[in-house]
Structure 1
C-alpha cells in the first residue's frame, strides 16, 4: 500500500504538486488579460459566467505568457524552481538567462507548459477536494442529502448512496494522480527545455578544465616543495641525532639547514595558499628557478649527509623562465626520490647539460639493496605522485621523461626544450597532475 501511495502523496510528489500550483498562480494574470480582451470582442459583460469563454480566455493568455518568457530573468527563475521542487539534478539545468533564439524558444515553450498544466492542476485542486468531501459525507448527513449539494435526484436513498464515499476517495486519488503525472512530465521535459545548450556545456567544461588545471598545478607545487622539505628535514634530523654526542659542528649545520629549509617552505606554502584563498585562476605563486635557487637546494640537501655530485654545463642563467621553474622542481623531486628510496644515500649524481635545443637533466643513485628493510616507493601510502608529477611537468613543456633501473642504479632522465612551444598554453589545462 505504501508503495502505491508514495508516488501520489510522497514528498517529491507534493513538491511537484506545489510547483504546478505555482504555475497556476502565475497563469492567473494572463487569464485575466485574456478575459479583458475577449469581453469587448464577444460582447459578453460577464466572461467569468461562461465556461467556454473562460477556456477561451485561458487559451488567449498562454501566448502572452510565452512572450513574457523572453525576458532574461524567466529562465534562471524557472530553472531554480525546477531544481528545488521537481528534483531535477543541477547539472541538467542552465543557470544563466537565455541568449540565443533557440534557448529563448525553449524557455517560452517551457513557461507555457508550466503555466498551462499548472493552471489545470490548480483549478482541479480548488474544485475537486470540496466536492469529494461532500460525497464522502453524504451517507452521514441528511441535510446534505436533501440540499442542492446532495443531488437527491442522482443518489436517491438506495444502495448508490453507499458508494458516495468511495467515489469521493477515488476523486482525491485521481487528483493526486493528475498532479503526479503532470509533475513527472514537467520534470522529464525540463532538461530538454531548460537545460544548457551546447555552448553552455562547452563553456562549463572549459571553466572546469581551467579550474582543474590551476588545482593540479598548485597540487604539484605543494607536493614538490613540501614533500622535498619534509624528506630533507627528516634526513637532516636523523643524521644530527646519530652524531649528536660526537660531532657538534655537524649538528649545528644540520639544525641551521633545517631552519633554512622550513623557513623557505613556509614562504612557498603561504604563497600557494594565498592563491587558493584569493580564488584567482590566473594568479601564480612565486616559484624558485634553476638559475637562482639550485645552489641553495644542493646545499640544503647535502646537509642531510648524502654526497651529491652536481655537474652543470648548461648556462642556467639564460634559460626561459618556464623552463627554469619546471627544471628546478624536477631536480628537487628527483633528489627527494633519491634520498627517500635510494639504496646508498651517500652517492647521488646530478648532471644538467644543454644538448642542442634541449636541456637535459640526469639524476642517478644506487638502488636499494634487497631485503626486509628495503621498501619500494610504490608501497608507501599515497606514494607514486612524484614521478608522475615530473612526467607531467616534462610533458607540459613538450619534453620527455624516462625513469628506471639501469645497471644496478636508478636513473632519472628528463629532456626539456629550450624554446617553450606555442602549445604550452593549450596543454596547460590537459591531464591531471
Structure 2
C-alpha cells in the first residue's frame, strides 16, 4: 500500500507542476488561431470595401443625374434610360476636357482602389487629346460599372432585410451564408475589374512612360557624372596630399615642410568644397542656397591647379590659348576635370617628371594635349618631391584605369574623342612620353 500511495503522490505532484508551469500555461493560452481560409480572406479585407465605396460614388452620380433629369414620373422605362444615359455621357465627356479632372480621378483611384503599385495609376493632368479621351472612357466606364454594382447592392440588401424580417424568416435563414458568400465575391471581382480599368485608362500614357524612362536615364547619367566628379577631385587631392607628405618626410627641410603643409591645406580645402558641392547636388538643394559651394570649377581655375601640381614637385609647363568666355559652361567644367585627371595621373605614376599641357581652340574645336615623360627617360631638374614609400612609377595614366575611362566618357558625351598612350622616341630603352589628346567640339552636338 505504501508503494501505491507513493506512486499516487508522485503522479499528482507531476500533474500540479505541469499545470503550474508558466511556459505550458502560456502556450495553451496563446495557441495560434486558425487563419482565415483563402476563400474568406478577400471578403473581410478592407481593400474590398474601399473599392466598393469607389464603385458606389459612380452609381450615386448616375442616381443624382437621374433624379434631376429626366426623373422617374410619367415616363416609360425606355425613355428614362435613354435620356439619363445620354445626359450622363455628355456631362462626363465635358468633364474629361478639364485637365485637372484626370489628376483628381487618379488621386481618388489610388486612395480607394489600392493598386499594388501606385505608379500604375497616374496623377498627372491631361496634356494631350489622347489623355482626355482615355479620361472620358474612364469616367463613363466608372459610372456604368458603379451602376451595375450599386443597384444590386442597395436592392439586394433591402430585399434580404424584408425577407429576414417577414413571417417566413426562419425558412430563409439557411440561405444567408451561401448568399452572403456569393454576394461578397461579386463585390470582390467588381472591385478588381474597376482597378484593372483604372490601370488601363488612368495609367501613364506611352508618352508619359517614355518621359519617365528618359528621366530615369537622366538621373543615372547624373549619378555617373557625380561619381566621376568625386573620383577626379578627391583622387587629385589625395594624390597631392600623399606625395607632399612623403616628400616632406624624406627631405626634412623645415622650409620645404612648411610649403608642403601649405599645399596639403589648400588641396584639402578644395577637396572639401568639391565634396560639399557634390553633396548639395545629391540633396537637390536650391541653386545658390550654399553660396560658392554650388559653383562649378572651369577652365579659368586651371592656373590654381597647375600651382598645386608644381608645389607637389611636378614641373608643369602650360599654355592655355582660350579667350575668356569662349567655352560654354559645361565644356569649360568638363575640360577642367579632364586636365585635373591628367595632372593627377602624372603626379601619381610619373612623379617628378615634367608635364607639358597645351590647350587651344582650332577650327571650331577645343584641343587639349597633356604629355609627360615616361619613368626612365632623362629627367629634368625637377622639384624635390618623390613618390611615397611603396609607390610605383608604372607609367602614366594607367591603361584601363577609372581615370582614363572617365576621360573618354566625358569626351564621348560632349561629342568629341580622347586618345591616350605612350609615344616612344626610340632614343633609349623606356624613353618617350605618355600623351593624352582630347578634341571637343565647341558647339555641343555637332
Is the structural similarity TM-score above 0.5?
A: yes
Deviation at 1:169, TM superposition (A): 1.9
User: Could you say what secondary structure the match of 2:39 adopts?
Assistant: helix
Task: Indicate conservation of the 8 Å contact 2:65/2:84, yes or no.
Answer: no
Give me the whole-angstrom Cα distance separating, in 1, the residues matched to 2:153 and 2:435: 74
1:22 to 51, 54, 77: 54
Contact 2:71–2:80 (Cα < 8 Å) also in 1: no
With 223-232 and 346-355 compared, the bigger mean Cα shift is at: 346-355
1:71 aligns to 2:98 (yes or no):
yes
Structure 2 CA distance for aligned equivalents of residues 82 and 173 of structure 1 = 26
Taking the aligned partners of 1:200 and 1:222, their CA distance within structure 2 comes to: 33
For 2:149, the equivalent position in structure 1 comes to 121
Note if 1:224 corresponds to 2:232: yes
**Do the aligned partners of residues 295 and 70 (structure 1) sit closer, same or farther apart at CA in structure 2, a change above 3 Å counting?**
closer
Question: Distance between the aligned counterparts of 2:200 and 2:332, measured in 1?
Answer: 50
Look up the match of 1:300: 308
**Higher gyration radius (CA):** 2
> What per-residue deviation string (whole Å, max 9, x for no partner) do you get for residues 194-234 of structure 1?
12334434444555555555555444434322332233223
What corresponds to 2:443 in structure 1?
A: 421
Partners of 1:235 and 1:366 lie apart in 2 by: 18
1:9 correspondence with 2:37: no
CA drift at 1:70: 3.6
What's the TM-score, normalizing by structure 2? 0.69
TM-score normalised according to structure 1 size: 0.71
1:66 Cα deviation after fit:
2.1
Question: In 2, Cα distance between the equivalents of 1:176 and 1:96?
Answer: 33
* Residues 227 and 148 (structure 1), Cα distance of their counterparts in 2 relative to 1, 3 Å cut: farther
| 2:116 equivalent to 1:82 | no
Question: Is 1:37 aligned to 2:45, yes or no?
Answer: no
Aligned to 2:404: 387
Q: 1:28 to 1:54 in 2, by over 3 A?
A: farther
Which of 243, 261, 272 is matched with 1:255 structurally?
261
How far 1:258 sits from its partner (Å)?
Answer: 1.4
Q: Distance in 2 between matches of 1:309 and 1:289?
A: 22
Is 1:98 matched with 2:126? yes
Separation (CA, whole Å) in 2 of partners of 1:362 and 1:86:
60
- For 1:333 and 1:274, the matched residues in 2 are separated by 22
Aligned pair in 2 of structure 1 residues 297, 73: CA closer, same or farther (>3 Å)?
Answer: closer
The alignment covers a number of residue pairs equal to: 381
Answer yes or no: is 1:186 the counterpart of 2:213. Answer: no
Name the Cα RMSD after superposition. Answer: 4.3
Per the alignment, residue 107 of structure 1 pairs with: 135
Distance 1:73 1:119 in 2: 24
| Structure 1 range deviating more: 67-76 or 57-66 | 57-66
The DSSP-based 3-state class of the residue aligned with 1:362 is strand
When structure 1 is superposed on structure 2, of 184-193 and 215-224 the one drifting more is 215-224
Residues 320 and 24 of structure 1, relative CA distance in 2, 3 Å threshold: same
Distance 1:386 1:345, change over 3 A: same
Q: Which residue of structure 1 aligns with residue 4 of structure 2?
A: none
Which residue matches 1:396?
413
SS of the residue aligned with 2:70?
helix
Q: Is the 8 A contact 1:350 1:362 kept in 2?
A: yes
SS at match of 1:39: coil
Structure 2 contact 42–48 (Cα < 8 Å) conserved:
no
Are the equivalent residues in 1 in contact too, given 2:321–2:361 (CA < 8 A)? no
Q: Pairwise mapping of residues 238-387 of structure 1 onto structure 2 (< 5 A)? A: 238-243=246-251, 246-274=252-280, 277-279=284-286, 285-290=294-299, 292-305=300-313, 308-313=314-319, 315-317=321-323, 320-322=326-328, 323-340=331-348, 342=349, 344-347=350-353, 349-352=355-358, 354=360, 357=363, 358-364=366-372, 366=374, 385-387=402-404
Tell me, which stretches of 5 or more residues in structure 1 are unaligned?
139-143, 156-160, 378-382, 425-433
Q: What is the alpha-carbon distance in structure 2 between the residues aligned to residue 125 and residue 416 of structure 1?
A: 73
- Could you report, residue by residue, the CA deviation over 1:341-397 in whole angstroms, capped at 9, with x for unpaired residues? x2x53335333265954513234465799xx987999xxxxx954333311222233
Structure 1 residue 106 displacement after superposition: 1.5
**Which structure 2 residue ranges, 5 or more long, are not aligned?**
1-34, 377-386, 425-429
